[in-house]
Amino acid sequence: MPTRDVDHYIADAEAQGLKIRHVFLTHFHADFVAGHLELRDRVGAEIHLGASATTQYAATGMHDNDVLAFGNVRLVTLETPGHTPESMCILSYDLEQSDSTPQAVLTGGTLFIGDVGRPDLGASIGWTADDLASLLYDSLHTKLLPNVPDEAPSYFSYDAEMNTRERPTLEQSLGEGLVALSLMETLARRDAGAQTARHT
Amino acid sequence: MPGATQELKLLDIREGDDFAGAHLQGSINIDLDGKFASWAGALLAHDRPIVLIGAPGSQQEATMRLGRIGYDNVVGYLADGMMALARSPHLVGRVQRITALSLHEQRQENVPICIVDVRSASEREGGHIADSIHVPLPQMLRHLDELPRDQKIVVHCAGGYRSAVAASLTCDAKLWR
């Protein structure tokens, strides 16, 4: 699930001598903008979503146990409805280590540290919290728990630390750019804005 | 709409009660303790500088939460928060809070009052105050100029968060009318 500013993904890939061919959107978001379309347009990547997703752009629907393999890596998708109906998780195998045990799982909005994804955000598309919570319970118990070994790290989508790492501009603004302004400076900003409004 | 959003630069992130008690004139109030980013995204321009007013330390959280929805336009915060206004009482604005009973009594006495319901359409369908007008908060900026200028304006929602935002918008509008 990429952030919308995609330069750093492209730079990271280039630094490793890699090309981005596939973008996985683990789920839809109501509250912020993902960068899958930007990555598609910039590098021609194919977009992957949970199979139940309906989109206005071309995307490959991923079912349970669909496989994408390249080099020594195998990615296996699991449909895990709950946080959203089309949520999915991705098992990541390092075939040099093992072809039967995943080394990591990408849990999107389904599973966090000490918490699970919120099932109560689907009202606008007709899902009750009870229905989504029931789906989430089943996804956790029938998809994730049986397939992910305890020692495999989980990487989820939202996290303050990850957010900071992914957004160096934000980190910079928090560390340096956010300055204390005097009352005079603050008023100047307000009044400059008020003038603009009057003149439009 | 562009004209209306351009001057929304001073963002007070304190609780609605605190804002009502005293605020810097021309600021709008979106309480950090609530659906802050959602309402900021609905009401603020993403490409205009924002100056924050709030308690020490809350500015960083506000900047982070704005950043997550793509708002990288926080340029700073008012040093010392509201303490900066201690010697400038002429810059302080206030919002009167009114109980349902008091509102009822004033209407009985024919005090001219425009009641603005800022809830969603579905909430309003479930019942509303007679003779109130309906301006859902997300659309409020577009309709500020249509609010009467010769009456008291009383805004309400369901729990007080949105009406605090709406009240700050109407206060702000007075500045540039």
Q: What is the CATH number of the domain that holds A13?
A: 3.60.15.10
Give a yes or no: residue A159 inside a domain: yes
Give a yes or no: residue A1 inside a domain: no
Look at residue A17 and give its three-state secondary structure.
coil
Task: Go through the domains of chain B in sequence order and give each one's CATH number.
Answer: 2-93 (3.40.250.10), 100-175 (3.40.250.10)
Instruction: Name the residue among B2, B48, B67 with its Cβ closest to that of A200.
Output: B2
Could you give the CA distance from residue A197 to residue B2 in angstroms, rounded to a whole number? 9
**Residue B45: alpha-carbon gap to chain centroid:** 15
Question: Amino acid identity, residue A18?
Answer: L
Q: Which of B72, B87, B172 to mutate to test the interface with A (most CBs of A within 10 A)?
A: B72
**Measuring CA to CA, which residue among A47, A4, A26 is closest to residue A163?**
A4
Could you give the CA distance from residue A15 to residue A9 in angstroms, rounded to a whole number? 10
Q: Please, what is the end-to-end C-alpha distance for chain B in angstroms?
A: 15
Give a yes or no: residue A179 inside a domain: no
Q: Is A108 exposed, middle or buried (0-12, 13-18, 19+ CB in 10 A)?
A: buried
Contact B74 A189 (CB under 8 A): no
Structural domain range at position A88: 7-166
Per-residue tokens: A7: 């330069």
Q: Is A91 exposed, middle or buried (0-12, 13-18, 19+ CB in 10 A)?
A: buried
Give a yes or no: residue A193 inside a domain: no
Give a yes or no: residue A67 inside a domain: yes
DSSP state letter for B129:
-
Question: What are the pLDDT digits (tens) for B41-84?
Answer: 899 888 888 999 999 888 988 988 888 787 888 889 999 999 99
Contact A190 B79 (CB under 8 A): no
Give a yes or no: residue A171 inside a domain: no
Q: Chain A contacts of B38, Cβ < 8 Å?
A: 31
Residues of A in CB contact (< 8 Å) with B are 4, 31-33, 160, 163-164, 167, 169-170, 173-174, 177-183, 185-187, 189-191, 193-194, 196-198, 200
| Residue pairs between chains A and B whose CB atoms are closer than 8 Å | 100
Contact B69 A32 (CB under 8 A): yes
Give a yes or no: residue A200 inside a domain: no
Contact B69 A31 (CB under 8 A): yes
Phi, psi of A175 (to 5 degrees): -80, -40
Give a yes or no: residue A184 inside a domain: no
Q: Find the residue in A nearest to B175 (Cα).
A: A194
Count of structural domains, chain A: 1
Tens-binned pLDDT, residue by residue, of chain A (200 aa): 677 668 888 999 999 999 999 999 999 876 666 788 889 999 999 999 999 999 999 999 999 999 999 999 999 999 999 999 999 999 999 999 999 999 999 999 898 877 888 898 888 788 999 999 999 999 999 999 999 988 888 887 754 344 444 444 444 545 556 788 888 888 887 777 655 444 43
Q: Chain A contacts of B67, Cβ < 8 Å?
A: 163, 167, 170, 173
Say yes or no: B137 contacts chain A, CB-CB below 8 A: no
